[in-house]
Structure 1
Amino acid sequence: MSVAKFSIGKIIHHSLFNYRGVIIDVDYKFLGSEQWYQEVARSRPPKDQPWYHVLVGNSVHQTYVAERNLEIGEDISELNHPMLDEFFCGMDNGHYQLKVRKN
């Protein structure tokens, strides 16, 4: 099993598509369907490495991205995304703070 390089709340930069985003969930390996992988993951990133659920900055989109296509975001300013408040309660030192969910 691979160790994830990025954690939830980390601001990242997508190296292929040049966008900023924030990690909202981490899968230890690719957990999508084979059909999705064939149709969407055109660069054929490894399935046995971590994959991340990412809110894309300045959009309403959420993506599923292989670790090899991500790098630490140098711009750690706040992102603009309508779902940020559903996951995070604020930002501390360039890292979004996960909301504590109550039952």
Structure 2
Amino acid sequence: MKSLFAKFGIGQVVKHRSYAFRGLIYDVDPEFDNTEEWWLSIPEDVRPRKDQPFYHLLAENAESEYIAYVSEQNLMLDDSDEPLRNPMIEQMFVRDEAGAYRALPVLTH
């Protein structure tokens, strides 16, 4: 079994290499874990490999906020320090004085 390591972690802000959106990572899959239909919907010439980490993002572009699922090869760190506006972020994260996003504690019973 191939061992994979994620380049990015939960709470990091990233941006897409080709498309104008950025987002906050809230989960990571060590390799592709979505439907075959979703994967095939990506144009073949830009379709990512499945054998790499994929990231769940609380994403946003100039027009809207949404959830995105993006391959590691298509992401890079966003070092702009601009706060994100996705309203789902405040349900899962807090932004500290230094501008970093920290996951809120999970309560279980």
TM-score normalized with structure 1 length: 0.90
SS in 1 for 2:41: helix
Unaligned runs of 5+ in 1: none
| 1:12 paired residue number | 14
- Tell me which moved more, 77-86 or 36-45: 36-45
Deviations 1:46-89 (A, max 9, x none): 11100000111353211000000000102122100110111102
Q: How many residues align?
A: 103
3-state SS of the aligned residue for 2:55? strand
Give the TM-score taking structure 2 as reference length: 0.85
Give the CA RMSD over aligned residues. Answer: 1.6
* Rg (Cα) greater in structure: 2
Q: Structure 1 44/70 Cα, relative in aligned 2: closer, same or farther at 3 Å? A: same
Q: Could you list the structure 1 runs, at least 4 aligned residues long, displaced by more than 4 angstroms after superposition.
A: none
- Aligned identity (percent) is 36
* Correspondence for 1:77: 82
2:96 counterpart letter in structure 1: M
What code does the residue aligned with 1:30 have? F
Residues 19-51 of structure 1, C-alpha deviation per residue, up to 9 Å, x if partnerless?
Answer: 221111100000001111001365121111000
More deviation in 84-93 or 29-38? 84-93
Equivalent residues in 2 for 1:1-103 (5 A)? 1-40=3-42, 42=44, 43-57=46-60, 59-91=64-96, 93-103=98-108
